Amino acid sequence: MNRLTGENLVDYKEVERQIMARDRQMDNTFTKDLQITALRGARNYRGDRLIRVAAPHKILDPKKGPLIAVRLNIVSRKTLGGLQTDLSARVLDETGQPIPGLYAAGEVCGFGGGGVHGYRSLEGTFLGGCLFSGRVAGRAIAHRPK
């Protein structure tokens, strides 16, 4: 990775140290690693164990294949807000006035935090808010003055 980017961004020894520390936690029944604990907990449910949750294994397990480096370009995947709207789903400008013809629905208008599914909503549970805010926007568009 360092050779590809021309920068010394990846410290091999530090990455190796962190991966080995994580792999040691796989041997610990009472691990303090929250991801491993969550994975093991999910596998206690038969449905997840059979079809959804990957079997826990060590990252450096030679049977699981080689490690592959991937360069990521981070983008914002979820904002849970950003556009201020009124109760008719009209997007408001910085002075609080509606922008003519511009409506917003779904996560972009910020229904997520504490909305219909509560403060601890997980991905995949925002559908209700998307449908509700989309319905509001659709009705407002259909009934707007010509």
- Give the chain's domain count: 2
Structural domain containing residue 119: 90-142
**Residue 118 counted as domain residue:** yes
Helices (H), the chain: 2-5, 12-26, 34-43, 46-51, 127-142
83 within some domain: no
Residue type, 10: V
Across the chain, mean pLDDT equals 82
Q: Are the CB atoms for 134 and 105 separated by under 8 Å?
A: yes
Last residue of a domain, one of 64, 80, 114: 64
Sign of CA dihedral 113, 132, 116, 123: negative
- Residue 117's pLDDT is what? 58
pLDDT score at 109:
80
> What does the pLDDT average to over 140-145?
90
Are 12 and 60 in a shared domain? yes
Token pair belonging to 80: 């849970």
Is pLDDT larger for residue 126 or for residue 93?
Answer: 93
